[in-house]
């Protein structure tokens, strides 16, 4: 397909105009001959619109630009078989890309459908012809699959590419290589997949011609050289078949199937065999006319039977694509027989309709529609078939998929940047994914997105075909919860890295704050305060504590700090608890000593438990740890010490029943008390950030109660806390529990029995 040098034609403007009109009328007449509805008016309008829009523009070859859209429309109509919507879109396909008109203008004049197709064509044009074309090739291929939504975009693109390939000669050589490579890589396999076999073959041969001009020439010459020998073998082989078919009264054509230059080369390359070996493996195709569709199958098998009467059948190479058509719609009966020269020959048997479909894909179906067909509904069923193939590659579809090794990326979506670049993302990817995939800085400062010009949050889940713009702010910082909004590995890694960086900054800040707070302390004291804080707030590492302080999740005030700085003093019960009386003496002996308290023990009277600092005339039982306020009972032991039990303590019960004579009634001295009694309290609730701090704040600061021990465990959103406090009496514990229960999230607080 050689291109004529347009400028050498030297046409007058009138001649040029006539040439354009002729080209368009050719498209229109072809359309009118088809079975499509005759929507001539809109096609004429689209032509006028495009002609005006491209007015004065010429292609590199020198021809008026409008000839290109007309040629594309012709391919779309006559070679692919599409209808008026596609013809209009083809005529308009470069208007938005190359002129001042916008998609909105197309929509206003030609409606939404045509505008959408033109928009799709405009969107993929940048990606494929732009500088990043090769890097985007893979994306583009996926895009085409994803955009099966309106497959006409792909089909018109295919026609566009075919025309560009046919006129590639007028391009710069550097551009030729690029376009040819791309065509072989993307368009030819895609044409195959769509069942556009004739287009596929032409694209391959054209690409091959530009990529390997030498080999192309050699193979072409060899084909011509071997022509006569091939013709001889072919005539020998087909003569007896013709005889039989004539006798059957069939109307048919029989052809040697011509292998394309590219496929010969491809086989030579992949199988490492010389031209002769590839070319000798030839095939014959029989195409018969058939009035009734119902007879197709039996005629095929009759021909099969006739051929096997003449030639020896290869036992395992019969392919019945009639009973079970290929997933792409291919139907035919193939058999392989031993030829006269001892070579295997493949024979393909097809009806005319089968042949049309095989060569032109599903588009050929239109030709067989009775009456005027509707492009929309036809496309829909075609689309469904293709979508089904893409979604469920069944065994039948495998050879179809094999050749091109395309996977279906159903779990992926394609989005566009405002510049028209493509990005492939996993399904459910968000605006934040896009931001991080573009650049770490964009991700870290992302505040929102604009999807198809509409403002959306960073967590917005994208759809295939969305145009995504990332909005950023200088002051934005990444946060840990963003991890929920990213699903791509790249975004996750980048976000985690920026979180670590951010965390380090916050930790340093926290460490500084803490260092300032414990400034006055001795180094070892400062160290112990830090450890105490970790225990208090349940942090496993210093870094965690620093981070919590730095991010204001934990605030440490003077009061808390002071209480932590305090060394364990005389408040701790088990250490300072004095015996009542110093010696081990009987009560009588005790009475003899100067210990007035002992002497005065009169079991008939109520024994007053004194609780002033340091003055304790009793011993609390370790089994029940009574505190002032509790109902208590005293027991005078062998040494004359009064041991105080809670009234309902188990041990006390036993004593009461066995040593009634040793009991002494007791009551707490009513006086201001020091916080010297140990009480254990359980607090339960719903875990949340900062609850421990509030708990501690309430108890240590607000109520000024000394916490001696604290244990907290969080599990599945709940926490269980046990704390030992030193209090003056039971009333304080009750108040404490009441106050603690007011803290948000606390569900229960009670003294441990």
| Contact footprint for Mn ion (CB under 5 A) | 94, 160
Does residue 507 sit in helix, strand or coil? Answer: helix
As to burial, measured by CB atoms within 10 angstroms (0-12 exposed, 13-18 middle, 19+ buried), residue 103 is middle
Smallest distance from the beta carbon of 180 to Mn ion, in angstroms?
16
Smallest distance from the beta carbon of 83 to Mn ion, in angstroms?
20
Task: Considering the complex, state which of residue 94 and residue 119 has its C-beta at the smaller distance from Mn ion.
Answer: 94
What's the half-sphere exposure (Cβ side, CA atoms, 13 Å) at 543? 4
Smallest distance from the beta carbon of 91 to Mn ion, in angstroms?
11
Radius of gyration of the chain (CA): 46
CA dist 90 and 115 (Å) reads 11
Smallest distance from the beta carbon of 36 to Mn ion, in angstroms?
23
Task: Considering the complex, state which of residue 59 and residue 504 has its C-beta at the smaller distance from Mn ion.
Answer: 59
Smallest distance from the beta carbon of 72 to Mn ion, in angstroms?
6
Task: Considering the complex, state which of residue 94 and residue 296 has its C-beta at the smaller distance from Mn ion.
Answer: 94
Beta bridge partners of 33: none
Smallest distance from the beta carbon of 98 to Mn ion, in angstroms?
8
CA dist 377 and 382 (Å) reads 9
CA dist 337 and 310 (Å) reads 9
Beta bridge partners of 642: 636
Smallest distance from the beta carbon of 59 to Mn ion, in angstroms?
10
Helices (H) and strands (E) counted in the chain, each on its own, are 32, 19
> Measured in whole angstroms, how far is the alpha carbon of residue 599 from the centre of its chain?
85
Q: Please state, as a whole number, how many other Cβ atoms lie within 10 Å of the Cβ of residue 534.
A: 16
CA dist 260 and 404 (Å) reads 17
Task: Considering the complex, state which of residue 157 and residue 331 has its C-beta at the smaller distance from Mn ion.
Answer: 157
CA dist 61 and 8 (Å) reads 10
Residue, CB closest to Mn ion: 160
Task: Considering the complex, state which of residue 160 and residue 202 has its C-beta at the smaller distance from Mn ion.
Answer: 160
Smallest distance from the beta carbon of 88 to Mn ion, in angstroms?
15
Residues 6+ apart with CB under 8 A from 234: 256, 282, 284
Out of 97, 525, 637, 698, the active site residue is 97
Smallest distance from the beta carbon of 70 to Mn ion, in angstroms?
11
CA 84 vs CA 47, 91, 102, 319, 548: distances in Å: 12, 10, 21, 38, 67
> Measured in whole angstroms, how far is the alpha carbon of residue 358 from the centre of its chain?
37
Out of 16, 98, 138, 597, the active site residue is 98
166-182 burial by CB neighbour count: b if 16+ within 10 A, else e? bbbbbbeeeebebbbbb
Beta bridge partners of 352: none
| DSSP element (H, E) containing 684 | strand 677-686
Q: Is 6 left (phi over 0), alpha (psi -120 to 50) or beta?
A: alpha
Smallest distance from the beta carbon of 161 to Mn ion, in angstroms?
8
Smallest distance from the beta carbon of 93 to Mn ion, in angstroms?
6
Residue 48 in tokens: 């006028």
Task: Considering the complex, state which of residue 160 and residue 205 has its C-beta at the smaller distance from Mn ion.
Answer: 160
CA dist 321 and 80 (Å) reads 23
CA dist 626 and 621 (Å) reads 7
Task: Considering the complex, state which of residue 57 and residue 338 has its C-beta at the smaller distance from Mn ion.
Answer: 57
Which of 630, 639, 643 lies closest to 577, judged by CA?
A: 643
Q: Please state, as a whole number, how many other Cβ atoms lie within 10 Å of the Cβ of residue 196.
A: 29
CA 203 vs CA 292, 555, 586: distances in Å: 34, 71, 117
Task: Considering the complex, state which of residue 97 and residue 138 has its C-beta at the smaller distance from Mn ion.
Answer: 97
Confirm whether 612 is a catalytic residue.
no
CA dist 620 and 125 (Å) reads 89
Task: Considering the complex, state which of residue 119 and residue 160 has its C-beta at the smaller distance from Mn ion.
Answer: 160
Confirm whether 544 is a catalytic residue.
no
Task: Considering the complex, state which of residue 106 and residue 364 has its C-beta at the smaller distance from Mn ion.
Answer: 106
Largest CA distance in the chain: 147
CA dist 207 and 201 (Å) reads 10
What's the half-sphere exposure (Cβ side, CA atoms, 13 Å) at 253? 7
Task: Considering the complex, state which of residue 179 and residue 627 has its C-beta at the smaller distance from Mn ion.
Answer: 179
Q: Which residues are catalytic?
A: 97-98
């Amino acid at each position: 397909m050689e291109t004529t040098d347009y400028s050498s034609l030297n046409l007058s403007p009138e001649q040029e105009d006539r040439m354009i009109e002729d080209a368009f009328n050719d498209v229109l007449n072809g359309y009118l001959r088809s079975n499509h509805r005759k929507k001539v008016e809109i096609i004429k309008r689209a032509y006028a619109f495009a002609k005006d829009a491209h007015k004065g523009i010429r292609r590199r070859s020198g021809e008026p630009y409008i000839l290109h859209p007309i040629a594309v429309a012709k391919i779309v109509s006559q070679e692919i078989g599409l209808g008026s919507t596609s013809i209009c879109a083809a005529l308009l396909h470069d208007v938005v890309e190359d002129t001042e008109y916008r998609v909105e203008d197309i929509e206003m004049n030609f409606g939404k459908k045509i505008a959408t197709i033109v928009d799709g064509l405009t969107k993929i044009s940048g990606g494929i012809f732009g500088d990043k074309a090769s890097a985007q090739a893979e994306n583009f291929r996926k895009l085409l699959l994803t955009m099966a939504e309106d497959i006409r975009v792909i089909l018109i693109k295919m026609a566009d590419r075919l025309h560009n390939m046919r006129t590639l000669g007028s391009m710069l050589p550097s551009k030729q290589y690029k376009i040819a490579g791309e065509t072989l890589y993307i368009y030819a396999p895609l044409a195959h997949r769509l069942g556009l076999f004739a287009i596929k073959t032409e694209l391959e041969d054209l690409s091959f011609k530009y990529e390997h001009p030498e080999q192309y020439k050699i193979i072409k010459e060899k084909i011509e050289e071997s022509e006569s020998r091939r013709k001889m073998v072919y005539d020998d082989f087909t003569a007896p078949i013709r005889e039989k078919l004539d006798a059957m009264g069939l109307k048919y054509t029989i052809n040697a199937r011509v292998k394309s230059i590219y496929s010969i080369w491809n086989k030579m390359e992949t199988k490492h065999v010389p031209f002769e070996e590839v070319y000798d493996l030839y095939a014959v195709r029989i195409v018969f006319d058939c009035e009734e569709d119902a007879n197709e199958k039996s005629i095929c098998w009759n021909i099969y039977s006739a051929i096997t009467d003449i030639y020896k059948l290869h036992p395992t190479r019969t392919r019945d694509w009639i009973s079970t058509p290929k997933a792409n719609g291919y139907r035919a009966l193939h058999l392989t027989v031993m030829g006269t020269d001892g070579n295997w020959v493949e024979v393909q048997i097809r009806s005319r309709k089968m042949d049309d479909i095989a060569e032109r894909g599903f588009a050929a179906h239109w030709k067989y529609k009775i009456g005027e067909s509707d492009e929309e509904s036809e496309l829909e069923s075609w689309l469904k078939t293709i979508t089904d193939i893409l979604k469920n590659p069944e065994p039948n579809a495998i050879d179809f998929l094999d050749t091109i090794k395309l996977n279906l990326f159903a779990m992926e979506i394609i989005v566009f940047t405002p510049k028209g670049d493509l990005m492939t993302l996993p399904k459910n990817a968000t605006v934040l994914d896009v931001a991080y995939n573009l650049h770490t800085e964009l991700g870290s400062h992302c505040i929102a997105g604009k999807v198809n010009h509409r403002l959306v949050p960073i967590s917005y889940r994208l759809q295939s075909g969305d145009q995504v713009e990332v909005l950023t702010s200088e002051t934005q910082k990444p946060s840990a919860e963003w991890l929920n909004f990213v699903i791509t590995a790249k975004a996750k890694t980048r976000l985690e890295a920026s979180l670590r960086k951010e965390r380090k900054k916050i930790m340093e800040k926290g460490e500084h704050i803490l260092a300032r707070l414990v400034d006055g302390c001795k180094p070892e004291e400062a160290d112990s305060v830090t450890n105490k804080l970790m225990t208090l707030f349940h942090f496993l590492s210093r870094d965690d504590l620093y981070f919590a302080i730095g991010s204001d999740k934990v605030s440490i005030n003077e009061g808390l700090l002071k209480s932590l700085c305090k060394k364990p003093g005389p408040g701790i019960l088990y250490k300072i608890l004095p015996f009542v009386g110093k010696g081990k003496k009987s009560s009588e002996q005790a009475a003899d000593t100067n210990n007035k308290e002992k002497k005065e023990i009169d079991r008939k009277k109520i024994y007053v438990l004194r609780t002033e600092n340091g003055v304790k005339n009793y011993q609390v039982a370790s089994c029940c740890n009574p505190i002032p306020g509790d109902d208590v009972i005293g027991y005078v032991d062998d040494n004359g010490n009064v041991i105080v039990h809670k009234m309902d303590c188990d041990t006390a019960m036993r004593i009461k029943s066995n040593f009634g004579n040793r009991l002494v009634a007791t009551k707490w001295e009513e006086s201001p008390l020091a916080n010297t009694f140990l009480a254990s309290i359980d607090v339960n609730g719903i875990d949340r950030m900062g609850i421990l701090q509030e708990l501690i704040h309430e108890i240590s600061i607000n109520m000024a109660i000394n916490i001696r021990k604290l244990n907290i465990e969080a599990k599945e959103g709940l926490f269980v806390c046990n704390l030992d406090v030193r209090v003056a009496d039971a009333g304080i514990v009750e108040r404490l529990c009441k106050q603690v229960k007011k803290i948000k999230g606390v569900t229960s607080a009670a003294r441990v029995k």
